[in-house]
Amino acid sequence: MTLSIAEVLEAARQRGLTKLPEPSQLTVVRVWSTGIESRWIAEVGEPPSNWPVGAVFDSEDEAQKAGFAEGEARRSQLADALRSAGADDIADAEWEPMRLDKVPVAN
C-alpha cells in the first residue's frame, strides 16, 4: 500500500515529531529555464513553500536531478526521524512518488 505524504506527516505528528517539512517539499520538484543561455533553476515544493536547490544549472537534466536529489534527501531525513520515533513501519512503507513540474517561462 502506498502512503500519501499527508499520511506520513500525520504519523510523524502523532509520534511527537516537530519541525516537519511542508508536504509539497516532499512531493514536488519544479524546474524552469532562466531564458538565458540554457540555464536552469530547480526547487522543491510549491509556492509559498518552495525552496531553491543549488544555484543555476547548465541543463534541464542537471536541474531535474538536483531537484529530485534534494527531495529524496528530505524524505530520507523524515524517514530517519520516524525510525528514531519507533515508526519503522511508516518509514519503510512505500510513499507517494515525487512529481516534476516544468514551470513555463513568460516571454
Per-residue pLDDT of the chain (107 residues; tens, 9 = 90+): 899 999 999 999 999 999 899 999 999 999 999 888 789 999 999 988 899 998 899 999 999 999 999 999 999 999 999 999 999 999 999 999 999 998 887 55
H helices of 1-107, where?
Answer: 5-14, 60-84, 88-91
Look at strands 28-33 and 40-44 and give their pairing.
antiparallel
Q: How far apart are CA 68 and CA 60, in angstroms?
A: 12
Residue with cell 511527537: 16
